Amino acid sequence: MPTIQSLRKKLDFQRVMKSGESWSDRKFVLVASSQTPSLIATRFGFSVSKRIGNAVIRNQMKRRLRVIVSGFDYIGGWDAILIARKGSIGCNYKEIEISVSKLLIKSGMTANRLESKER
């Protein structure tokens, strides 16, 4: 399984936002671009604004998203950003998992889930 690393630098976020394709639903937006040198690792960044809630809620959302994206088998090296929308407020783990799964499959980044993680 390819490893999943984090996008941390502002320049990486800007590059993905500028050159990447986006897929969205009511809860999340996925922006992804294929890495120029096709590295093995898929890198994810998470953006949860103050509109979603206080720091505790935002950090909880980011933790859930990290766990969910780590459960997929990715095709090639990608840089991706998951952005939480207002529709994600109050969603439980399973609803978030279903929404993110659909976006990842729609984007072509992954074809299947490795294993189901119940929460």
The string of DSSP codes covering 13-68 is: HHHHHHH-EEEE-SSEEEEEEE-SS--SSEEEEEE--TTT-SHHHHHHHHHHHHHH
Q: What is the pTM of this model?
A: 0.86
Residue 116 has pLDDT above 70, yes or no: no
Task: Identify the pLDDT of residue 1.
Answer: 46
Q: Which helix (H) or strand (E) holds 116?
A: none
Q: Could you tell me which of 11, 16, 9, 10 has the C-alpha nearest to residue 82?
A: 16
43-58: average pLDDT: 96
State phi, psi for 80 to the nearest 5 degrees: -140, 150
The number of residues making up the chain comes to: 119
Q: Which domains are delineated in the chain? A: 4-108 (3.30.230.10)
93-107: average pLDDT: 95
Q: Which helix (H) or strand (E) holds 101?
A: helix 93-107
